[in-house]
Amino acid sequence: MRTQVTRLSEAEVWQALRNVPDPEIPALSVVDLGIVRAASVEGADVRVSLTPTYAGCPALTVIQEDIRRALCEAGATSVHLETVLEPPWTTEWLSEDARRRLREFGISPPPRHGGVLEIVWSDPALCPRCGSTDTEVKNPFGPTACRSIHVCRACREPFEAFKPM
């Protein structure tokens, strides 16, 4: 008996990728985060290029496993993952929808910088709870390398802010 090879369309591949949550910020998918650089279908092979948020990202292995599993569950029979480090990932790649979902998740999204990082880490972050910019950095080191801890002076709530990169 012959096994039928399932060929996914590129649209099906992207839909499967949109359903893979970031393991550190599950409110965002790997597509929302902007780390999926390219996805293509070549016959029965699915190829995905990823750029981690930084070169030493400890979640990269988990992300790769989750992507492989999601694509296989969608019907892919052969998945090739490639890590692309140039150009490096930037918070500019976050979609507006991703920024909205970060706020809803309780994390202040990074300010837009247009590729020029003149932003000082102590600049006020937008409080995701009340929208105030009357905030202060309590600790530049958050639960992950890409986040810091802030406190809002207006609502007195602590929150995390995504660092601009």
d(CA 49, CA 60): 12
Mean pLDDT, range 97-117, rounded to an integer: 87
Q: pLDDT band at 2, cuts 50/70/90?
A: very low
Q: For residue 35, which of 75, 105, 83 has the smallest C-alpha distance?
A: 83
Q: pLDDT band at 15, cuts 50/70/90?
A: very high
Q: What is the pLDDT of residue 117?
A: 65
Which tens digits make up the pLDDT trace of 43-60? Answer: 879 999 999 988 788 889
Domains of the chain: 10-83 (3.30.300.130), 94-162 (no CATH)
Which tens digits make up the pLDDT trace of 108-147? Answer: 999 887 766 665 555 789 999 999 999 999 998 888 888 8
Residue 48: helix, strand or coil by DSSP? strand
Average pLDDT value for the chain: 89
pLDDT for 152 beyond 50: yes
For 55-59, the CB contacts below 8 A with 24+ separation are 55/85, 55/88, 59/22, 59/23, 59/24
Q: Which two tokens stand for residue 44?
A: 């029965």
Sheet holding 45-50, edge to edge: 36-42, 45-50, 78-83
Percent of all residues in the chain with a pLDDT value above 70, rounded to a whole number = 91
Mean pLDDT, range 64-71, rounded to an integer: 97
Mutual orientation of helices 10-18 and 60-73 as an angle, nearest 10°? 130
d(CA 120, CA 110): 12
Q: How far is CA 160 from the centre of its chain?
A: 15
CB 78 within 8 A of CB 13: no
Q: What is the pLDDT of residue 121?
A: 57
Label residues 86-102 b or e (16+ Cβ within 10 Å = b). Answer: eeebbbebbeeebbebb
Q: What are phi and psi of 79, to 5 degrees?
A: -120, 125
Report the range of poorest mean pLDDT among 24-28, 92-96, 119-123, 127-131.
119-123
